[in-house]
Amino acid sequence: MLLASGSRSWNGLDEAMKHMARWLARHLGNSELFLWVIARGGNLHPQFEWELRRRLKDDPPSPSLQVLWALLLSGRVKSRSKHHDLYSWSDRLKAQGLTPTLRFELNSALAPVVKFSRPYRWPSAEGTPEERKTSVSTLFNGK
């Protein structure tokens, strides 16, 4: 039973995990939660996603985290499950020419997404709360 993972197969959550999802969603103002979700593969359990959406509406975090969560929830953050095999696509194009399906596949493979990575920091350098906050905006690594 997982709240965030690299694949999109989900089971129902038991009561304990439902509480966990609700409790975690209360921390969406903490950039560590966002980074944890990304590190887990970027896919959210539907129930956890629902909790996050509700929390974003009722108790929005800082503007920069609002943008990051919104991007994640709209599928615009790179996730491990959404990997496209362009080599196979290219072989099929050479064999068949462009078909509507190949066009759809190319559009999905080339759809821009944001790639995040954790900024490198010396283990002893915890930083002040203000420094930790500003590091969120420097996570963007290009696409």
Partner 1 sequence: MGTDYAHSVLGALEKVDKWADALPVLLPDATALLRDALDLMRELGGASDREDLSYIHQPSISDHEQNNDFNEWTELIVMTRDAWLTATDADPEMAKIEVKRWLGIHYPVFRRLAFFAAAQRPDLIDEGLALGSLLSDDHYWLWTSMTRRETIRLIASLSTRISPEQSERLQAAINNGPRPRCSAMI
Whether residue 16 contacts residue 43, with contact meaning beta carbons closer than 8 Å, is answered with: no
Choose among 80, 143, 141: nearest CA to 116: 141
Contact status: 39 vs partner 1 (CB under 8 A): no
Indicate the residue among 9 and 107 with the shorter CB distance to partner 1: 107
Between residues 24 and 77, which has the closer beta carbon with respect to partner 1?
77
Under the binding rule (CB under 8 A), the answer on residue 90 touching partner 1 is: yes
Distance CA 120, CA 102 (A): 39
* Residues in 99-118 that interact with partner 1 by CB under 8 A: 103, 106-114
- Report H helices in the chain: 15-25, 31-39, 46-58, 63-73, 86-96, 100-110, 129-135
Q: Which stretch binds partner 1 (CB under 8 A): 7-15, 27-35, 39-47, 71-79?
A: 71-79
What are the residues binding partner 1 (CB under 8 A)? 67, 71, 76, 78, 82-87, 89-90, 93-94, 96-98, 103, 106-114, 137, 140, 142-143
